[in-house]
Structure 1
Amino acid sequence: MNGNRFGRLFQVTTYGESHGEAMGVTVSGCPAGLELSEEDIQRELDRRKPGQSMITTSRGEPDEVVINSGLQDGYTTGTPIGMVIQNKDARSGKYEPYVTAPRPSHGDFTYSAKFGTRNWGGGGRSSARETVNWVAAGAIAGKILDQHGIQVKAHVNQIGDIEAPPVSFEEMLEHTEENEVRCAHPPTAEKMRERIDQYQQEGDSIGGSIYFEARGVPRGLGAPRFDSFPARLGQAMFSIPATTSVEYGLGKEAREWTGKDRNEDWEFDAEGDPIPEGNKHGGLQGGITTGQPIYGEATWHAPTSIPKQQKTVDWETGEEKEIQVVGRHDPVLPPRAVPVVEAMLSLTILDFMLLGGRINPDRLDGTAGEYDTEYHPSSPDNE
């Protein structure tokens, strides 16, 4: 099974299954000299971990990270960083009825059809449990970006048909972590929570979306076509389980705008460089960053594991069955997906920063000099 690595110079390779012994991630390409501790990683993992509130799964995972390579005296050495998070509260027995009877809208049958087998406990490799690895890697990327004045933030802007009004970046920084829904508009967060409670009581679930933004990203990152910034960003966001759409700038609203209305005239910035006078394009033009804030939105469908009666078929016995998917599942995904979105956005930006020579890929101590940042697609290390 391929598809377990993300990034080109800052490479993240993950392993683990929902009810396996542990989750793990190896980060290759982190420059030497970054001060890093398990506490730095743990802060982000605690935002993603289950059991935070009544609107998340009750699975009791502490998600405690252990860094077992790549550090010396509290600083990165430039060698691969290995991290492990043990699974402490897996209960696979509830999944035995679905070994040959796929749960509606899950990956049970598609995995089995492709590989002829699968780890069926908790969804195995297809479970969102795997995103714990991404958040761990994103915490490292975030620390590096912070040193270069780049900030990344996200918040839940819609649950069902309840949509928050636009909020500023500063409001996201201030309010996102103040409530269980992770909506930076407190009055809307209360309405969202009530709606989630309603679906929980009915034994159902609901979808939603997350607004994300990055500030301080320099102009000139990305390339046309397949290595464009939005292409790579789309890959990052669509990798998150249950993502159904990813937009940037005006997003789907752009279909309602004329060229004249959407186009933005050019002006000079404070340094005398050309800059668009607006930012309807979300900080990206021609697949390349403009230096303006990058912003967008990603949408998640409702969680598919619900206790309502549903119908399936057993591909071994040929029988139709009525099932109820019991267990510990989130009634809504965006609240816990906020740190995952921030992690994937951070990983995407950092990879482009390294590729573009904005950060020395070998060391972070400010050493000047020539260093090779060219991406060689034919190299075995960059397949």
Structure 2
Amino acid sequence: MNTFGTRLKITTFGESHGKAIGCVIDGFPAGVRIDEAFLQSELDKRKPGTSKFSTQRKESDKAEILSGTFEGFSMGTPIAVVIFNENQHSKDYDNIKDLFRPSHGDLSYFAKYGIRDYRGGGRASARESAARVAAGAFAQMLLAEFNISVKSGVFAIGKVQSELESKDFDFEFADKSEVFALDKALEASFKEQITQALRTKDSVGAAVFTRISGVKAGLGEPLYDKLDSKFAHALMGINAVKAVEIGAGIRSSQSFGSQNNDRIKDQQFLSNHAGGILAGISSGADIELRTYFKPTPSIFLAQETMDKFGNNAICELKGRHDPCVGVRGSVICSAMARLVIADALMLNANASLARLKKAYE
């Protein structure tokens, strides 16, 4: 499936070493001011080659809007965005064209389709995520009309994890940090974890925290399309993500109800173990999400594998790869969270007869 969303839908297209990647956004309401500078700034955060802590593939990731806008505003028609690939080194993959790289999608894609684009992983490459970031930027333009903000940053790399409470995470510092560190005191340690992985031709995992502020109570579809399940769906769909927590997450399974319940006093919650979602519907508290990325499977150590003919083989990679995919993954987490909330806003517009009538007054 290449399409995400219910009312606000995005479809992405393209491969890592193809001519271009991009997205089509359908269901975006007319009249939203389009901020192209913001769109590009989001892509610039995610783009490769910006520091020694990411892949050295050099891409400008310049977004071109092909349709759906006029004189600086959305038209209510499909918005198409294309990002042309500029710096593919496809020959780097010639030696593994018949091999299944360990922990990549090579084997599973080949099992499903009987064919795969071995150049950088093709459609399964994290390169595709630039299109999601572009779509998420448009979603934020809509959310800004409702004073909703979505911010993400890194709170752990490898075994180095911040002990700060989520309320103390520093998003302003994360915006300036090369590794989007939410804990200023740990930025150097985070960088050292990545540098050590690079030094040993290895990679390292990371964890990302996302906070969504300004969401009023009442968003989300109960039962089979709960807001928390939509977030899990969106975030688990990001390359290399292996776990997602909402609010207290697994810690709630280790506590008593008297400890985990969010009590209410003076019209506000005294805690936020629920992470801003109750019964699949937003409670009005900040929505808090944690996303866990595995180490980048592309490492430069010789590894046992097999080829597509079933023969044992040794995989030795060349090319340019992220030593810690979770760093740039934080930008993608924000994008997907924005798409979920924007979709929920639009779905909620006709949740009651009163709201429907108001739209036609």
- Range class of TM-score, shorter chain: over 0.9
**Post-superposition shift, 1:195?**
1.4
Residues 153, 169 of structure 1: 8 Å contact kept: no
CA distance in 2 between counterparts of 1:36 and 1:276 reads 35
| Alpha-carbon displacement from aligned partner over 1:199-225 (angstroms, at most 9, x marks no partner) | 100000000100111111110111322
Corresponding residue for residue 303 of structure 1: 296
Corresponding residue for residue 150 of structure 1: 148
Corresponding residue for residue 191 of structure 1: 189
CA distance in 2 between counterparts of 1:187 and 1:181 reads 13
- Matched to 2:315, the amino acid is I
**Post-superposition shift, 1:38?**
3.0
**Post-superposition shift, 1:369?**
4.2
Residues 150, 217 of structure 1: 8 Å contact kept: yes
Residues 154, 172 of structure 1: 8 Å contact kept: no
- Matched to 1:323, the amino acid is C
Counting only pairs closer than 5 Å after superposition, residues 170-249 of structure 1 correspond to structure 2 as 172-249=170-247
**Post-superposition shift, 1:37?**
4.1
| Alpha-carbon displacement from aligned partner over 1:77-132 (angstroms, at most 9, x marks no partner) | 11111100000011111212322210111111110110011122110000010000
CA distance in 1 between counterparts of 2:315 and 2:272 reads 49
1:343 aligned residue (335, 340, 351): 335
- Matched to 1:107, the amino acid is G
Q: Structure 1 residue 325 and structure 2 residue 317: aligned?
A: yes
Residues 153, 171 of structure 2: 8 Å contact kept: no
2:52 aligned residue (44, 51, 54): 54
Residues 30, 75 of structure 2: 8 Å contact kept: yes
**Post-superposition shift, 1:58?**
0.5
- Matched to 1:327, the amino acid is G
Q: Structure 1 residue 315 and structure 2 residue 308: aligned?
A: yes
SS in 2 for 1:122: coil
Corresponding residue for residue 283 of structure 2: 290
CA distance in 1 between counterparts of 2:166 and 2:118 reads 43
**Post-superposition shift, 1:307?**
0.5
**Post-superposition shift, 1:154?**
0.9
Structure 2: gaps (5+ residues): 352-356
- Matched to 1:309, the amino acid is A
**Post-superposition shift, 1:265?**
3.0
**Change in 2 beyond 3 A, CA 1:57/1:358:** farther
**Post-superposition shift, 1:43?**
0.7
1:263 aligned residue (251, 261, 264): 261
CA distance in 1 between counterparts of 2:108 and 2:75 reads 41
| Alpha-carbon displacement from aligned partner over 1:184-210 (angstroms, at most 9, x marks no partner) | 222201111011101100000000100
Percentage of pairs with the same residue: 36
| Alpha-carbon displacement from aligned partner over 1:34-91 (angstroms, at most 9, x marks no partner) | 1114322111000000001001000011100100101111111111111000000111
SS in 1 for 2:250: helix
Residues 38, 66 of structure 1: 8 Å contact kept: no
CA distance in 2 between counterparts of 1:25 and 1:114 reads 24
CA distance in 1 between counterparts of 2:51 and 2:165 reads 24
**Post-superposition shift, 1:262?**
1.1
Q: Structure 1 residue 99 and structure 2 residue 97: aligned?
A: yes
CA distance in 2 between counterparts of 1:353 and 1:287 reads 14
**Post-superposition shift, 1:164?**
1.6
- State the TM-score, normalizing by the size of structure 2: 0.95
CA distance in 1 between counterparts of 2:49 and 2:346 reads 36
Residues 206, 302 of structure 1: 8 Å contact kept: yes
- Matched to 1:298, the amino acid is T
- Matched to 2:81, the amino acid is M
How many residues of Structure 1 are paired with residues of Structure 2 in the alignment? Answer: 356
- Matched to 1:98, the amino acid is I
Structure 1: gaps (5+ residues): 270-274, 360-367, 372-383
Residues 127, 241 of structure 1: 8 Å contact kept: yes
Residues 206, 327 of structure 2: 8 Å contact kept: no
**Post-superposition shift, 1:257?**
0.2
**Change in 2 beyond 3 A, CA 1:344/1:159:** same
Corresponding residue for residue 87 of structure 2: 89
RMSD of the alignment, in Å?
1.8
CA distance in 2 between counterparts of 1:150 and 1:168 reads 18
- Matched to 1:320, the amino acid is N
| Alpha-carbon displacement from aligned partner over 1:331-352 (angstroms, at most 9, x marks no partner) | 0012111110000001000100
Q: Structure 1 residue 130 and structure 2 residue 128: aligned?
A: yes
**Post-superposition shift, 1:357?**
0.9
SS in 2 for 1:35: coil
Structure 1 segments, 4+ long, off by >4 Å, are 167-171
SS in 1 for 2:83: strand
